[in-house]
Structure 1
């Protein structure tokens, strides 16, 4: 019985520790994809983009591309950077690796001025709300998302139980 409990606790701990943080894949433009005459400002409205999420730009290869810009001025002016290679596979995936404002445009002819531009704000992972005073637990100030807080609490509990069995 003790061996089964030990094995179960070890497996639970490994699963919890190896579970990646949840991220979201966003297909830019949803079913419409990356194309002319689409309102990407409206598409992005109400979406919460977080570090680790992925933007997927889908379009017919050869008809568009994707440039990541570094300034709001370049975005407003639809300035295609000369020192950066565009993404152009037709199924471009960008991992949002850092928080902050991000800007993307199509560099073909007048496509950016015709609406093929996307500006988003990326934040760090959501913090879970602080527990009420009646239910002590891990606080949101720890920096873990709600799902990760539970995972770490489970991992710590499993590890403590494992150590008690082996002691």
Structure 2
């Protein structure tokens, strides 16, 4: 037996506080891969006589992808830093997990859009990243569960 009788839920919740930043970091890696692939593709693929990256709509998508990646990275680092300091991080871990995984889903969706019809094809890696991003929103507590935890933590203030 681990811990005392009746403490299983508390132990599980403390474990999630440590594991959710890790799951959120998977979202960071997924977003970085999407950005890297899309940048490469947008610099090579031409439409209407110019590369995709020179089209403002595509450039703005790439910029927003990077913005969300950077914001998520800071949230993940903060929640992991609190773990390293031995401080409670329930709020930050759930914020990082919800934001990073939702951002990963958004970034993967935009990657498919940038690739156009190719984005949906199994011949290109963005379709798998899209499926993986959806899993991140579910694994270790759905984004909705994270919002429940965040709301509960806010109510304690």
TM-score norm. by structure 1 comes to: 0.31
Tell me which structure has the larger Cα radius of gyration: 1
> Which of the pair is proportionally richer in strand?
1
TM-score normalised by L of structure 2: 0.33
More helix by share: 2
